[in-house]
Structure 1
Amino acid sequence: MRLPQTVVGTDGSPPAAVAVEHAAREAACRGTRLRIVHSVDWVPPPGIATALDEAGRRALRESGEHVLSESEARARSVAPDIDVRTTLAKGDPRPVLAELSREALMTVVGSSGSSGITSGLLGSVSRHLTTRAEGPVLVVRETPTPGGPVVVGVDGSSPAEAATAFAFAEAAACGGPLVALHAWSEWSVPPVPPPDPTLRYAKAPGELQAGEERLLAELLSGWSERCPDVAVERRAVRERPRQALIAASRTARLLVVGSRGEGGFAGLRLGSVSIAVLHHAHCPVAVVRGRENGSQ
């Protein structure tokens, strides 16, 4: 049986180095192989001599091998017992990593790369993967809080169900508590006609809150039986989801969200909440798109 993989992309930058260490720890607690990927994309200037072209390719290849060697040493320094493989790929790293994500348990990247040029606060590779990868993508933004919980956003949608499954698996494998966060407002709860038409639609004080707490309990039904060793805290908060999740990320070791965007354009493949937490969360963020067969 082929060992599942945790894939991490690196370009040798400091954010990528942090991502490699995080991926190594994930591989250790998840029991997967770690595959470290560095991609080189040599495009010679027009009219360059063949000898210079070959020299440029050789130098780029040697530099890539050095990046991979250092990254492997870094990974083994934090998780000495894991199975580490390295891949020196050719071409744009975005489609390379997206293709590898098809068979990966998760794909890990830093929030920005060596160029230091980002769109907003998210690098081009991490932005591409969170919209195009087929499996979960973990973007390492800041150093997580040691011993902090895994926080997952729960709203009853299909992507949130996939995120919940990933979060429970993470907490069960790597230890620590889990916080299931459900944010709501009067605008997110559809009005229900009263049984007596003469009565107002207005709810009694606390009735909406109680209803949302019941909904959260229903959405988590069965998970405690499947993962009995995971301590779960349910939070139903009256707040906008992005603000609630970003606030919760301050003390979390990982924030997990589902990607509920739609459409063929990359910008529409992430929901607004996912985009917000990827740019502003205070801990690593896992975006879970799920798979066509529904497995994680």
Structure 2
Amino acid sequence: MAATPQPPPLHGRVVLGYDGSKPADRALEYAVDEAVRRRTGLEILCGDPWTPPAPAGEGLSAEGYRTRYRATRDMVDQAAEQARKLSPGLTVVASVTIEDAAKSLVQCSRTAGLTVVGTRGHGGFAGLLLGSVSQRVAARSESPLMVVRGDDGLRDRPRGTVLVGVQSNTDEAAVRFGFEEAQHRNAALHVLHAWQFPPLKPTPHLVPPGGPLQRDAEDEAVRRASQAVPRYAVSSHRDAYPDVRVVTDDICGSPSAALVEASKKADVIVLTAHRNPHRAGLHLGPVSHAVLHHAHCPVVLIPSA
């Protein structure tokens, strides 16, 4: 009789949100890779896409619910077996819960080292539309969240670069994660800051106060400050990761467009999940939202402090 798999360590494990779809199967491969790199275990979690037994004559019967649960259990067990084939010796546990899928993943993120989900093209994660379950996970995850998207052959033909987008010194956690990921992958680290000149302030004068020379000086000050952002971001981590080759870069232009374009040459892009707590619920910022929809490689969102 086969031994019951021991659960992976609670803290630091990789958690995969799984629903049996093709994108989820692709995310499974990435989740296995990440667990191996981190020398930790993998938990494959299928949350509740169904409803509890309804009263007689309303919705799914109790027997129908049990049948559906058993089928889901078999599906997740098969996924766990596939993960073990991809990496013999990896500790893998299959979990099925009757709790809401997004709520379960967010709860797991409190102790996970990384949570992984799949995505279909420009739509949602593993068949779930952006703005529903998937956005709840992206907006509320309490640990790094990897959204697997991009070219199908990327996993087998790595580009050798981890890309980190930085906005300011508040992105320190994303930079640290980028260094760790680059070291795990034996890849280069590309830290990119995209910036834009502040708009001209309305003035009743045809010539701005101080004249064009003052405006030129102000623009140059903005340029120099922006160029310093990525260099400052990596400065405190270089000694801890001496073997990681680092490239810092700045681009004057749309942050979303610059990061999406740079993702064509990256294996993964890392961003801070800047969230807007002042709207109803938590919402991702416009740059994170755009990159999630259009990046050419997997995206890792790091919770903001």
TM-score normalized by the length of structure 2: 0.82
Change (3 A) 1:188 1:259: farther
Stretches of structure 1 that go unaligned for 5 or more consecutive residues are 191-196, 292-296
2:295 aligned with 1:278: no
SS of the aligned residue for 2:113 comes to strand
Pick one of 4, 7, 22 that aligns with 1:14.
22
Quote how far apart the aligned CAs of 1:49 are: 8.5
Letter in structure 1 aligned against 2:273: S
Q: How does 1:212-223 map to 2 (within 5 A)?
A: 212-223=226-237
Residue equivalent to 1:146: 158
TM-score normalized by the length of structure 1: 0.84
Q: What is the alpha-carbon distance in structure 2 between the residues aligned to residue 8 and residue 38 of structure 1?
A: 8
Change (3 A) 1:264 1:114: closer
2:246 aligned with 1:235: no
Change (3 A) 1:200 1:147: closer
Quote how far apart the aligned CAs of 1:205 are: 9.0
Residue equivalent to 1:75: 83
Pick one of 91, 106, 110 that aligns with 1:102.
110
Quote how far apart the aligned CAs of 1:3 are: 5.6
Stretches of structure 2 that go unaligned for 5 or more consecutive residues are 1-8, 202-209
Stretch deviating more after TM superposition (2-11 or 12-21)? 2-11
Spell out, residue by residue over 1:116-144, the C-alpha distance to the aligned partner (whole angstroms, 9 max, x if none). Answer: 462xxx47333211111111111111243
Q: How does 1:164-243 map to 2 (within 5 A)?
A: 164-187=175-198, 200-203=214-217, 209-243=223-257
Quote how far apart the aligned CAs of 1:162 are: 1.6
Letter in structure 1 aligned against 2:52: V
- Two-structure CA RMSD over aligned residues (Å): 2.9
Q: What is the alpha-carbon distance in structure 2 between the residues aligned to residue 61 and residue 116 of structure 1?
A: 19
Quote how far apart the aligned CAs of 1:244 are: 0.5
2:62 aligned with 1:48: no
Spell out, residue by residue over 1:77-105, the C-alpha distance to the aligned partner (whole angstroms, 9 max, x if none). Answer: 33223211111111221101110111001
Q: What is the alpha-carbon distance in structure 2 between the residues aligned to residue 114 and residue 167 of structure 1?
A: 23
Q: What is the alpha-carbon distance in structure 2 between the residues aligned to residue 134 and residue 163 of structure 1?
A: 13
Q: What is the alpha-carbon distance in structure 1 between the residues aligned to residue 200 and residue 93 of structure 2?
A: 49
Letter in structure 2 aligned against 1:75: A
Spell out, residue by residue over 1:152-211, the C-alpha distance to the aligned partner (whole angstroms, 9 max, x if none). Answer: 0112142x2221111111112232111000111222899xxxxxx896231399775444
